[in-house]
Amino acid sequence: MHTGIARQNGWYYDRDMQTISLKLPDDLLAQLEREAKVRGVTKSLLVRQSLEAALRRESPAAKGSCYERASDLAGTVKGLPRDIADNPAYMEGFGQ
């Protein structure tokens, strides 16, 4: 038995979900209504999914560390000394 208050595409959402008010320009509201109808979902579900996706894309935490984001570049420059990453001599005068 489900304890949610509404059913959408076989899923129930929790009673403790909060309601917010949102102001949209007419053209964006019309686009939201069309897309929700095409997908067969409520406008609320589409807004939640879109917001979650946007926050994942824009969150610095979701992007990973600098190394993780550039790890595909590691080792791509040929001809450098093997100890360039950990030999302090190569940092002499850096930033001056």
Residue 95's pLDDT is what? 84
Question: Tens digit of pLDDT per residue, the chain (96 long)?
Answer: 445 555 555 555 556 788 999 999 999 999 999 999 999 999 999 999 999 988 887 666 666 778 887 888 877 888 888 888 889 998 888 888
Residue 94's pLDDT is what? 84
Residue 51's pLDDT is what? 92
The single-letter code of the amino acid at 72 is: D
The structural domains of the chain, ordered by start, are 18-65 (1.10.1220)
CA–CA gap between residue 41 and residue 33 (Å, rounded): 10
Q: What end-to-end distance do the CA atoms of the chain give, in Å?
A: 68
Residue 7's pLDDT is what? 54
Residue 14's pLDDT is what? 58
Residue 1's pLDDT is what? 45
Residue 41's pLDDT is what? 94
Paired residues of 13 in beta bridges: 6
Residue 48's pLDDT is what? 93
